[in-house]
């Protein structure tokens, strides 16, 4: 998609952040507040297509309804002088979840992210809005590791009768993260988003998606028919949670994101709990052991006393030998010192 710097009053365009099939995203500065924002501008070639214009406007309307710390906020939307649609959102420059998966991730961190995303999707689901494109590329981070779910471009309200196919005949969604019912063009609801979260959880834990194939048709068959792959042995305790999230039939998955979040929290508590096998068994002191301990202590005390006495005795000075008397005795005097009789 070719791009040129858009002209939107009140915003100074800095640089291009990225492009997609429907729009380009620019880094801009909101001049009256001096803050950086992300400016999503619809492609020129699609502005004349009523179907794509409706999708773009639908995304702006949906995101404006949602208030959650883990959902991307929208600040403004409108149309340029030449008819280009745009929306203004928070700018996050910490990369995506996809990049973090490539760097490796602990099970605890993966579960915390899933729990937060489930809570965010709960807000959308309460308003009967299904995201339909939950994937790591749509989870954006800032430099403090806060993250939000973005790109509600193909989100669908429960009351809408739009099909799962776009006007160009392409399946709506990203095949590696789509639910079986999306592939089969069946009606979707919140449980389709739960399935996509399951794909993400498997990828965060293993570094790979559960089903992969270069052929979209073959990939669709795997999502529809193939059994849920097993996690590595070290992560086997999370298998029941994952298997329920990735159940083929929507009725076999968690009924809503509240139930999912509770199950994820239980799994997180289990993962973070210290291993019982690593803790030494408690020491039980019986009366006999207490008696033996006392006698052992007395023996040690006595031995220490003997050693101390020997050391003191060795270092004490030897007593001086007796000194002979040198007094002169007068033989003329009696032994008792008196005169002779």
Active-site positions?
133
Kindly calculate the radius of gyration of the chain based on its CA atoms and give it in whole angstroms. Answer: 41
Burial of residue 279 (CB within 10 Å: 0-12, 13-18, 19+) is exposed
141 phi, psi to nearest 5 deg: -115, 150
Determine the 3-state secondary structure of 117 from DSSP. Answer: helix
Rounded to whole angstroms, how far apart are CA atoms 104 and 142? Answer: 18
Rounded to whole angstroms, how far apart are CA atoms 211 and 198? Answer: 12
Q: At what angle do helices 257-272 and 107-126 cross, to 10 degrees?
A: 160
**Beta-bridge partner residues of 24:** 19, 41
Contact between 149 and 121 under an 8 Å Cβ cutoff? The reply is yes
Give the strand pairing for 85-90 and 129-130: unpaired
Contact between 115 and 264 under an 8 Å Cβ cutoff? The reply is yes
Residues 6+ apart with CB under 8 A from 298: none
Entry field: residues in the chain = 341
DSSP 120-134: HHHHHHHTTEE-S--
- Residue of 24, 156, 138, 44 whose CA lies nearest to 92: 138
């Amino acid at each position: 998609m070719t791009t040129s710097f858009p002209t939107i009053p009140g915003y100074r365009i800095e640089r291009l952040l990225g492009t997609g099939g429907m729009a380009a995203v620019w880094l801009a500065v909101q001049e009256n507040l001096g803050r950086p924002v992300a400016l999503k501008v619809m492609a020129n070639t699609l502005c004349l297509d009523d179907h794509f214009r409706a999708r773009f406007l639908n995304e702006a309307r949906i995101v404006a309804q949602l208030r959650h710390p883990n959902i991307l906020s929208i600040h403004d939307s409108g149309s340029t002088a030449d008819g280009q649609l745009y929306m203004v959102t928070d700018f996050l420059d910490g990369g995506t979840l996809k990049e973090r998966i490539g760097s490796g991730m602990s099970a605890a961190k993966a579960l915390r992210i899933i729990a937060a995303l489930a809570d965010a999707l709960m807000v959308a689901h309460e308003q009967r809005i299904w995201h339909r494109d939950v994937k790591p590329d749509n989870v954006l981070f800032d430099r403090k590791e806060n993250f939000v779910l973005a790109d509600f471009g193909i989100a669908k309200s429960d009351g809408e009768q739009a099909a799962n196919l776009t006007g160009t005949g392409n399946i709506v969604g990203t095949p590696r993260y789509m639910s079986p019912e999306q592939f089969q063009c069946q009606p979707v609801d919140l449980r389709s988003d739960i399935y996509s979260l399951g794909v993400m959880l498997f990828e965060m834990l293993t570094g790979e998606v559960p089903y992969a194939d270069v052929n979209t048709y073959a990939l669709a068959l795997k999502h529809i028919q193939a059994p849920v792959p097993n996690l590595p042995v070290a992560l086997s305790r999370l298998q029941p949670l994952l298997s329920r999230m990735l159940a083929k039939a929507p009725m076999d998955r968690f009924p809503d994101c509240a139930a999912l979040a509770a199950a994820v929290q239980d799994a997180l508590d289990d993962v973070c709990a210290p291993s019982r096998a690593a803790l030494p068994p408690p020491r039980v002191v019986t009366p006999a052991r207490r008696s033996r301990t006392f006698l052992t202590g007395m023996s040690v005390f006595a031995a220490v006393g003997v050693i101390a006495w020997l050391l003191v005795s060795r270092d004490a000075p030897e007593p001086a030998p007796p000194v002979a008397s040198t007094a002169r005795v007068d033989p003329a005097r009696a032994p008792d010192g008196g005169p002779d009789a």
